[in-house]
Structures are given as structure tokens and as C-alpha cells.
Amino acid sequence: MTQMCKLDHVHRHALSGTCYVIGKCRCIPCTAAMTIRAKARRKAQVFGRYDNGLVDAGPVRDHIAYLQANGMGWKRIGVVSGVGSTGVSSLVYGRKGGPDDPRKGEVLKRTSRAKAEKILAVRPELHLLATGAPIPARGTHRRVQALVTRGWSQSKIAVLVGVNRGNFGAMMQQQAVSAGFALKMIAVYDRLWNTAPPHDEWRDRIAWARSIRYAAERRWVPPLGWDDIDTDRVPPTSNHPRF
């Protein structure tokens, strides 16, 4: 008597080994298909050509943790990598499945090579983060400070990035900013770092001079004082060119 498949409502027979292995189905189509697969696998193993397309999931899981530590949520990783949120979630939180799935919650030991390669190719680049993802504010603060050394007041910078002056002052005291705001600040900085603000009119001249003095009193570093404004660990404090 043919045994009924436990996953009969989920899988079609003989199309994969799931019915035979997990559902314990022993119908004629499933048994015949499994026999063919087993013979092909043994032949490939004998000739050293066998590749099941699976790789160790550990390094992939470690890379996901690295991306998360750098501001990328697991759903965002799924979008950027192209494997989907379910593909990433199953690696992090275990297999999904219905209440009758005996492997539900199982931590994956292996994953497909294609999925692994897509996830491992993702790097925590700022433009790939969700706009609201929090990131360290260090690079943003340094860009503001560098522009102030050129004479750009924080009020002018706030207007350029579209932020209320009061909120801008609070941002300069925070340890983190959103990825979207950081990108706006980068765009403004890249446009202005080598340009002084207009200071022909007396009001502009006062604001320009005051900003330069304010930055000098705090020993803020000008644009050319940084090797890498985002990653330099210790602010240089020796003499630097202003521009």
C-alpha cells in the first residue's frame, strides 16, 4: 500500500526530493524519481563531478551580522542582495514553515552557493542603507566643522541641508545621524569644501569672519587636514593649511 505524503498539501510529487525525504512519501513517482537522482549522484561522485550547490552557511551568517552591525537591517540586506527577506531571515532566525513542518526553526547549516555569493557581495556602503538607518555621526560632524573653517556658518549649512537651525545644533551633539541625512551632508560638503561663502556685503563678511574664528577657537580641522574625513581616528591638531 502506498504511504501518503505528510506534505501532500504543499509539494507536488516527484518534482523534488522533499516529498520522499521530509514527507516520507513512498508513492511510485517519488520513489522512481529518488532512485534516478541517487544513481546520478553516485555516478557524479565516482567521477569527482558531484556538486550539490550548497555551501557552509556559517560565513554567510557572519557576514549578515557584520552588515547589521554597520546599519543594515536583515530586510534591507534581502532587498540589496536580491535574495529576499525570507532568504536572509531563514539564515538568521532559522527555517520558516507551518505548524506541521518538522524542520521549522532549524538553523541552516548549509545554503545555496548562489544565495551565499549574493549576500557576501553586499558591502555596508552608505548609499545602500535605508535612509532612516542610524550611523555614527563622526563623518557628518567633521564635514560641518570643516566647512565652518572655510567661513560657512552652521546656519547657512542647516539651510543647505534643509534642517531647522535648532535641530541642526542638536544634531551636532548626537552620536548618530540617519543615513539619509549623512548623504545630504556629503553632497553639500562635496560641493562647498573648496569654496568660501559670499562675503562681500558687510553682514556676510561678519558671518564669514565669525565662523572662521569660531572654528579656530575649537581647533576644528579644515578640509585638507583630513586623510579620510570618515575614517581618521584621531583629529590632527598640528598646523594645517586653512584651505
pLDDT in tens, 83-129: 998 889 999 988 877 777 777 778 889 999 999 999 999 998 888 88
Give the DSSP H/E element, type plus range, for residue 61: helix 58-69
Q: Which pLDDT belongs to residue 236?
A: 58
The H-or-E segment that residue 202 falls in is helix 202-217
175: CB partners within 8 A, 6+ apart: 136, 137
> How confident is the model at residue 2, as a pLDDT?
43
Whole-number Å distance between alpha carbons of 214 and 217: 5
Amino acid code (one letter) for 10? V
The residue-averaged pLDDT of 222-226 equals: 92
pLDDT of residue 242: 43
Q: Residue ranges of the domains in the chain? A: 1-50, 54-127, 134-225
Say whether 67 sits in a helix, a strand or coil.
Answer: helix
Bridge-based pairing state of the strands 110-112 and 134-136: unpaired
List phi, psi (to 5°) of 92. -85, -45
Res 18: pLDDT: 72
Q: How confident is the model at residue 235 (pLDDT cuts 50, 70, 90)?
A: low
Number of residues that make up the chain: 243
Q: Which three cell numbers stand for residue 121?
A: 557581495
User: pLDDT tens, 128-158?
Assistant: 888 888 888 999 999 999 999 999 999 999 9
The C-alpha angle with vertex 24 and arms to 19 and 25, in degrees rounded to 5, equals 60
Q: What is the mean pLDDT of residues 221-240?
A: 77
pLDDT of residue 182: 96
CB of 141 closer than 8 Å to CB of 154:
no
Residue spans of beta strands (DSSP E) within the chain = 54-56, 110-112, 134-136, 176-178
- What is the pTM (predicted TM-score) of this model? 0.64
Cα 71 from Cα 17, distance rounded (Å): 38
Predicted local confidence at residue 44, as pLDDT = 72
CA distance 47 to 27: 31
Cα 11 → chain centroid: 34
> CA dihedral in degrees (124, 126, 127, 132; nearest 10)?
100
The string of pLDDT tens digits covering residues 35-57 is: 888 888 787 777 776 667 889 99
